[in-house]
Amino acid sequence: MKKLLSILLALLMVFALVGCTPKQEETPAEGGETPEVAEEGKVLNVWTWNTEFWGFLGKYYADEVVDEYTLKKGDVTIKRTTYPSDGGAYQDALDAALLNQANAAPDDKVDIFLAEADYIIKYTNSDATMDVKSIGVTDFSNTYKYTVEAASDANGVVKGV
């Protein structure tokens, strides 16, 4: 149970900034041309170091379990990328993926990733994460205070749940 609480409360870093930037308004430029708008992905990519969170997501959130790496929720495809935590493999792969967000195809960007309390600050104090209030997560009354603090940046902005 302690492990479960640790995973559920101190790990999920919500929505990497580059992968979840809001859609820009299309406004015709001078001459009537519409400027290019960054393409949004149709896949929600979740990064994990094991299958525990994925199991909860499949059981309580998804409409369909397609296979061990793919879920469906309505018309959204949810894909899992997993690296073991041994030897820092997960953090190394995640760091590389986050550094490549600008060059990644829309369906390959990291949207949600899990992090543990011992290294979560590395991500909360970076541009790889965003204020969860901007996506409607505002009530932390049923959350352990230390998990909210662990997932907050140096300015107190909560960047994970």
- Does residue 38 surpass a pLDDT of 60? no
Q: If you count them, how many residues does the chain have?
A: 161
Q: Is 32 helix (H, G, I), strand (E, B) or coil?
A: coil
What does the pLDDT look like over 76-96, one tens digit per residue?
Answer: 999 999 999 999 999 999 999
The mean-pLDDT minimum among 21-25, 47-51, 80-84, 129-133 falls in: 21-25
- Helix residue spans in the chain (DSSP H): 2-10, 52-60, 89-99, 121-124, 145-150
Query: Using an 8 Å Cβ cutoff, are 53 and 64 in contact?
Result: no
What is the C-alpha to C-alpha distance for residues 97 and 101, in angstroms, rounded to an integer?
6
Name the more confident of 3 and 132: 132
Name the more confident of 138 and 117: 138
Largest alpha-carbon pair distance within the chain?
62
The single-letter DSSP state of residue 96 is H
- Does residue 145 surpass a pLDDT of 70? yes
Confidence of residue 13 (pLDDT cuts 50, 70, 90): very low
What is the C-alpha to C-alpha distance for residues 10 and 138, in angstroms, rounded to an integer?
16
Helix%, strand%, coil% for the chain, nearest 5: 30, 15, 50
